[in-house]
Amino acid sequence: MTILYHSGTFFIGIGLLFFLSGTVGLIRFPDIYTRLHALTKADNIGLGFVVCGLSLQSGNWAVIVKLLLIWLLVLIASSASCHLIASSGMEKKIKPWTRP
């Protein structure tokens, strides 16, 4: 076991914690807009850490490039889908949550 393997495992663990926090935000936040914010930010950062960890453990440049391309495509798709869902919410006149 090399230092790259252990540091990759560390980064994957951090990424899983970000995925967990995004899931908690999805369950606990009060409206669609705050849920979208929590989910997209946490999942994008979490996937970045997982890709970093897998890249450190891979050692193959072709695999590393493929992982980075997957992350880039997920970043683009995540922001586009978040924008579409928020726009749909605004069209349906779903009001953002405010403090009582």
Delimit the domains of the chain by residue range: 3-91
CB neighbours of residue 63 within 10 Å: 13
pLDDT digits (tens, 9 = 90+) for 64-98: 999 999 999 999 999 899 999 999 998 998 888 88
What is the spatial distance between Cα 55 and Cα 51, in angstroms, rounded to a whole number?
6
pTM for this entry:
0.86
Average pLDDT, the chain: 92
Give 63's contacts (C-beta < 8 A, 6+ positions apart). Answer: 54, 55
Could you tell me the CA-to-CA distances from 19 to 5, 6, 16, 99 in Å, in that order? Answer: 21, 20, 5, 27
What average pLDDT does the segment 39-57 reach? Answer: 93
Q: Is the model's pLDDT at 1 over the cut of 80? A: no
pLDDT at res. 54: 95
Side chain identity, residue 85:
I
